[in-house]
A and B are shown apart, each in its own frame.
Chain A
Amino acid sequence: MNCAEIQPLLNAWFDGELDAVRAVDVERHITGCPTCAGAKRSLESLRAALRRSNLQYRAPDSLRDSIQRSVAAAGASASGVSNEKATSTDPAAASVAPSPRGEGRGEGDRDVRQSETPSPRPRPRSSGWLWKFLTFGATAFAAVVFFLRFGAISEREQLATEIVTAHVRSLMVEHLTDVASSDQHTVKPWFEGKLDFAPGVKDLTAQGFPLLGGRLDFLHGRPVAALIYRRNKHLINAFVWPAGETRDPSAKQKFLRGYSLINREINGLDYCLISDLNSTELGELAELLAK
């Protein structure tokens, strides 16, 4: 292939988006062609410039909060509505204004509706307005309770859920490591300049926990280090961030959705280990890291 054929493919090749056969063609051409090799270097230095220039904007906390609030509000009102549907089939239940035609139409209408859409709970026919009022009140109360409960879900619950999600995502999206190395002297410096703290990195291959690498992650509104270890076939994420920022003082150990989580403070850093490994062996790793 000549330069004219290679050049349109160069960007796709550079992005790892070219099929294997053509990728080989491009690579072979580049080794023998100074012009195209120069173009490749030019793409590399462009990418390096983009990466080192810190161009990524992080969502401000105020935005995160306000989105979380509106999602919670929408969830609470949606559950309120669905409860109401389940207990009351009469749309008039929620209306305050009485029908101008008075009670005349009430009974008959309601009978028809009930036979069309059977209500899960039999309703007493008499004292209908009182019942409606109570149902509406109870639904509204339930919605409020739901809303408050959600607002009050403790930070550590949320953090534990976030950690599980981060762990699952790291396994799911083929994005386990940003820096893949079993060498602690490669992994530790890699974090430099990316975090405002220095995570302790240890290779524990000899103890049966080989280090696979490191990754940047984002938990609870701050960048954290993730160290990836392996025990036999189980992968372990160790999330690390400065202690005292988001503490989980209640539980050193917990289980969530089938994963074991272990929290531990080491040298002023909070470590949260998560894996599908049993908690005893995970505890061993925590001990080794703390040494």
Chain B
Amino acid sequence: MDYGGRGLVELLPAEAGVPAAERHANRFVTGTEQQTQFELVMMPHLDAAYNLARWLAGNDHDAKDIAQEAFLRALRFFDGYHGGNSRSWLLTIVRNTAFSWLKKNRPAAIVSIPDETLEKVEAPAGSDSVASKADASVVRAALESLPTEFREALVLRELEGFSYKEIAEVADVPVGTVMSRLARGRRLLQEYFQKKGET
């Protein structure tokens, strides 16, 4: 995972930042060549794809179905991938597949969060010791308890090391919304630990 070290990154969504080396021409190729390219470019992201699906679906069985379907969709749309960030390209598809699945099977899991961007970004909670005492099962339960959008942002940021811009691409929201979802998600986690600590 790669946190920090990236130094200066603007909060504005920028067009730049596509590594030239990752661009490749996938036109004029036969099915088998395309398949090889797909495997080279997309298969390395399988763990990240499954991890996101797993955290969104909440169980192994459905996560596998979602990841499998997402990869088939990705293969079908691979013609439309013209280089760029392959990880966020693939995870966008995983995310959309997962959300379609959630809408159908767990409509309650998707609650709309009104006017997030306009809302003031919340300050982090003060106490620094609560989280450090929580053991792994509590941390897992805390993350599971978050609303889907906050959980998604935190999984991409903290577990996959995605930048704000990448999260914005995957979740199809402005960068400002990513920032506010992370801040609120972290706040909710801290409150969860605080409550656990008191009982």
Contacts and interface: CB of A to CB of B under 8 A. Distances in A.
Contacts of B15: none
A164 to B, nearest CB: 9
B30 interface: yes
A278 interface: no
A11 B186 contact: yes
Contacts of B121: 7-8, 11
A52 B50 contact: no
B173 interface: no
* B: interface residue count bin: 35 or more
B50 A78 contact: no
- Which of A18, A70, A71 has the largest count of B CB atoms less than 10 A from its CB? A71
A53 B143 CA distance: 11
A95 interface: no
A53 B35 contact: no
Contacts of B2: 174-175, 178
Contacts of A190: none
Contact of A12 (B11, B21, B30, B38): B11
Contacts of B179: 11-12, 17
Given A7-B124, A56-B159, A79-B30, 18 more contacts: A10-B124, A12-B179, A17-B163, A19-B10, A20-B8, A35-B126, A44-B128, A45-B132, A53-B135, A56-B51, A67-B46, A68-B43, A70-B72, A71-B38, A74-B72, A75-B34, A146-B32, A161-B40
Interface of A: 3, 7-8, 10-12, 15-20, 23, 35, 38-60, 62-64, 66-68, 70-72, 74-82, 146, 150, 161, 165-166, 168-169, 172-175, 178, 218
Interface of B: 1-11, 19, 21-22, 30-32, 34-36, 38-40, 43-44, 46-47, 49-51, 54-55, 60, 63-64, 67-68, 71-72, 75, 120-132, 134-136, 139-140, 143, 154-155, 157-159, 163-164, 179, 182-183, 186, 189-190, 193
26 contacts: A7-B123, A8-B183, A10-B123, A11-B183, A15-B4, A17-B9, A20-B7, A23-B8, A39-B125, A46-B186, A49-B131, A49-B132, A55-B139, A55-B159, A57-B54, A57-B55, A59-B51, A62-B64, A66-B68, A67-B68, A70-B72, A71-B39, A75-B31, A76-B35, A79-B31, A172-B21
